[in-house]
Amino acid sequence: MPSTKQFIEVVMPQLAESLVSATIGKWLKKPGDPVEAYEPICEVITDKVNAEIPSTIDGVMGEVRASEGEVIAVGEVICVIEIAGEAEGAGTAAGNSAGATAISDAVQADSSAQTGLPAAAGDQSQRARYSPAVQTLAAEHNIDLRQVAGSGMGGRITRKDVLAYIEHGGANGTSLPKQEPMAHVSQAAAPAAATQAQVPQTPAAIQPGIPVQAASEPVRHSGLHLTETPRIPKIEVEGPQSEYFIDVTPIRNTIATKMRQSVSEIPHGWMMIEVDVTNLVHLRNKLKEEFYRKEGINLTYLAFLLKAVVNAIKDYPIMNSVWAVDKIIVKRDINISLAVGTEDSVMTPVIKKADQKNIAGLAREVEELARKTREGKLKLDDMQGGTFTVNNTGSFGSILSQPIINYPQAAILTFESIVKKPVVINDMIAVRSVANLCLSLDHRILDGVICGRFMQRVKDNLESMTLENTKLY
């Protein structure tokens, strides 16, 4: 009977309404590998977030038509999957042979994973490149990735490899004790130290079993970034030279592209205003413990700032706009992009319809997005639709910054660290809690007058927050 092999083309899907292209991050299958329906075949990167493209059918991976790092338009073919036809002929036999070979390879790779030994044969050039998902999983289970066999292209370790390693108890065949992730250590310490600021710890200070030393009396505790102790990225040292080489990951490349596009296309302006947040400090100190008991999350200064910013945008909606060459588009919904730092990148998940949320709702959104960012669980939808960006650089102890606009938005605002300063009030000197707000603006859309009024409104909103007139719910 004639050959009945069929080839199904897989195209780049439109993962979001505004998506026109995406970058191939990593192929999870290579030609000859068997694939099952709904099994991921590759990772793609879109606007600072990873997504996986699943197979829609059972078959064998065929020709790969897009290389890693290549930008592919939506609807363009990225690979071909071979499936068996209706007749049982030579073609089917060949397909079975290819499938058998692929299955044999898969069994061999699985066997390597079971033994915990790295694959000795084949290309291993990508073995030292770890995705955020792999790093997170390894950190959660205290796994040395050098002991895990990689089944990806170039010997790269996939999340499935790590799960297989965990399932089989590690290289020695014994179960590895699961340890609490570092983030959980700091989260557990957070409630008890709610009145104390956390400070960056050295790697030795965050080892399990060694208590995290609390800082002295804080000025503030509002940072996304300091809710966990930063992890130190692993750096490959090549040769005896005093130089280090770090591979540019696809997500780092995307960030670089976006930043270059922003500074080259947007004429940036910048301004700063000083805010007396003494009343806000007192207000938060009064409410934070009860809020934690009720909600189970920290009440940070950031939630109050977001409320102040959103209310100011309502008064000056031009801040919530984008440049469109022959027109300016003012967005109706106020969707706040929140800059969240990880150990090797910055994500900007979005609080949708922030103007419809109260302070408690904003605090919950901040907690949820920060958690998903730390765990690498952000979805494409979490990153879409931002209209104005807020960055909490004060969590680093910064008092002044000049942020780059999150393209194509019109402005970005940073909340700097709260410090105590002598302030002249009614010709008398008083010690007050003060913070700087810094704004970078698209000078094609915004000018100093409108931005000055906007910043003054944010300042007024923050300085007027007291226990008597501020409601969390």
Q: Which of 141, 168, 268, 443 is catalytic?
A: 443
Residue 443 is a catalytic residue: yes
Q: Which of 123, 144, 447, 460 is catalytic?
A: 447
* Gyration radius from the chain CA atoms: 26
Residue 144 is a catalytic residue: no
Q: How many CB atoms lie within 10 A of CB 32?
A: 17
Q: How far is residue 53 from each of residues 29, 79, 440, measured CA to CA in Å?
A: 11, 11, 36
Residue of 60, 11, 6, 1 whose CA lies nearest to 35: 60
Burial class (CB in 10 A: 0-12, 13-18, 19+), 131: buried
Residue of 419, 388, 261 whose CA lies nearest to 319: 388
Active site residues: 443, 447
